[in-house]
Chain A
């Protein structure tokens, strides 16, 4: 870690939270001004636990769940067969920000490595089927048996991103075309099911045998299950392996077949097309938003504004494919 004093105060905080434990091997895995992820070991009664701290200096942005809400969801999911890290502790001291501690599951999360390293060759073969099975389990869950979460179906999701796009105010003809297509192809609302909201390579912990856990539930809500399938097929989540539509590791017919088998019902292809387009558009709007509302002038947020053109190519591949038949 960069600053030792920073690291010391974090260690003290963790020892205070985890009464009687000695904390060692602190490593900051990622972190910005508002949210951080730290790996550490806690030793107690001669036993060593490998753990992860997730901490935010302030509450969620409104669009996403707070870490407290995410912790409640993780706890509820630990009673299901969905692979998630076990919640170990919720931070008590509120002046340190909100957050929680969960079990650390060994494995790789960097999408590019998972897609290229020979070590994950077998994992890449398994992941399409595993995604389908995990999603089918997530999508069985209804508001009645889960903690309260926002409800947002097709119309509401489209409206939300349209509103952000309008607030940015920059004219983007490809996006105008995409929003019009969504209006014309708006599906009927479905009974609300649990939706992960960011189910893609990069949010999986992967071992040689495949997916060990699904992370980052902060965009979870109740809505249309096909939202998760559409998002998983987004071209930006293929990390350069463009010919494999599903996350850079799988093909769409296999994903659909495995999902239908696991859920015991057919996938409505037109509805899936709607969610593929909305997912692709949504990532473009998010990139544009990060750059447009970058008050501190942060470098990474500024740079991501120039990834909108990538998402416009992805949208055109869906809406107006050229030559080779497009992105299907």
Chain B
């Protein structure tokens, strides 16, 4: 229903404006905060592109680990997983791949350079 540009393209335009037009004239604290703003926009851009698929993968893995009923939110599923971990009802060997894949998917959106150290 929404016409172009896409949300990603809109964010990109805002990001480029801050980066190319504003930041060169800024100093000290304002410059630092503008760089943080660019970083935040880039996180959201990456999440728009790859977030949905990452959520689906996480849900499928949780489904295999926990056997979830339909309609359970990702947050509820993770809450259940936490309870099992806290109760010692699930072994690290069973969990390990799921936790790594989830965290690497998150870092790929939040801080792709950090994730590259790990693979």
Contacts and interface: CB of A to CB of B under 8 A. Distances in A.
A binds B: yes
A300 B92 CA distance: 34
Give the size category of B's interface with A.
20 to 34
A312 B118 CA distance: 12
Contacts of A172: 78, 82
Q: Is the interface of B mostly helix, strand, loop or mixed?
A: helix
Nearest to A169: B79
B91 to A, nearest CB: 11
B9 to A, nearest CB: 22
Contact of A320 (B75, B78, B82, B92): B92
A291 to B, nearest CB: 11
B50 interface: no
Contacts of A307: 110-111
B86 A180 contact: yes
B53 interface: no
Interface in B98-119: 99-100, 102-104, 106-107, 109-111, 114-115, 117-118
Q: Is the interface of A mostly helix, strand, loop or mixed?
A: helix
A309 interface: yes
B36 A316 contact: no
B110 A309 contact: yes
Nearest to B105: A309
B36 A320 contact: no
Nearest to A173: B81
A147 to B, nearest CB: 33
B115 A171 contact: no
Contacts of B82: 171-173, 176
A266 interface: no
Contacts of A299: 33, 36-37, 40
